[in-house]
Amino acid sequence: MDMKRSYYEDVRLFSSGVTVFWFVALMVFLFFYPFVFTNYYVYMANYIAINIIVVVGLNLLVGYTGQISLGHAGFYAIGAYATITLMTVAHFPFLAALVCAGLIAAVFGFLLGLPALRLEGPYLAIATLGFGLTITTVIGRIEMLGGRQGLHAPDLVIMGHHLTSDRQFYYLAVTITVLLVLLARNITKTKVGRAFIAIRDAHIAAETMGVNLVLYKTMAFALSAFYAGVAGGLYAFVLRFIEPELFNLFLSVFFLTMAVAGGLGSVMGPIAGAIVLSFLDLQLRNILSIPYIGDWLRDLSASYFSLTGVSNIQFVIFGSILIAIMLFEPLGLYGLWIRMKKYWKPWPF
Q: Could you tell me whether strands 157-158 and 161-162 are parallel, antiparallel, or unpaired per DSSP bridges? A: antiparallel
pLDDT digits (tens, 9 = 90+) for 226-245: 999 999 999 999 888 888 88
Q: What ranges make up the beta strands (E) of 76-222?
A: 151-152, 157-158, 161-162
pLDDT score, position 202: 84
Cα–Cα distance measured from residue 234 to residue 333, given in angstroms and rounded to the nearest whole number: 26
On the question of pLDDT at 8 being above 70, the answer is no
Q: In Å, how far are 40, 265, 280, 314, 337 from 329, measured between CA atoms?
A: 32, 14, 19, 21, 11
Closest CA to 65 of 130, 135, 124: 124
Which residue ranges make up each domain of the chain?
Answer: 36-345
Residues 6+ apart with CB under 8 A from 172: 158, 163, 234
Q: Any idea which architecture 36-345 has in CATH?
A: Orthogonal Bundle (1.10)
Residue 239 CA, chain-centre distance (Å), reads 17
What is residue 346's DSSP assignment? T
Mean pLDDT of the chain: 84
Q: Could you tell me whether strands 157-158 and 241-242 are parallel, antiparallel, or unpaired per DSSP bridges? A: unpaired
Q: Could you tell me whether strands 241-242 and 151-152 are parallel, antiparallel, or unpaired per DSSP bridges? A: antiparallel
pLDDT digits (tens, 9 = 90+) for 110-163: 888 887 677 777 888 888 888 888 888 888 888 888 878 888 888 888 887 888
pLDDT score, position 325: 78
Lowest mean pLDDT among 73-87, 261-275, 314-328: 314-328
pLDDT digits (tens, 9 = 90+) for 57-94: 999 988 898 888 888 889 999 999 999 999 998 889 99
On the question of pLDDT at 7 being above 90, the answer is no
On the question of pLDDT at 14 being above 80, the answer is no
Cβ 274 vs Cβ 227: under 8 Å: no
Cα–Cα distance measured from residue 37 to residue 191, given in angstroms and rounded to the nearest whole number: 41
pLDDT score, position 3: 67
Alpha helix ranges (H) inside 285-312: 293-304
Q: How many CA atoms does the CB half-sphere of 199 hold within 13 Å?
A: 29
pLDDT score, position 213: 84
pLDDT digits (tens, 9 = 90+) for 166-210: 888 999 999 999 999 999 988 888 888 888 899 888 888 888 888
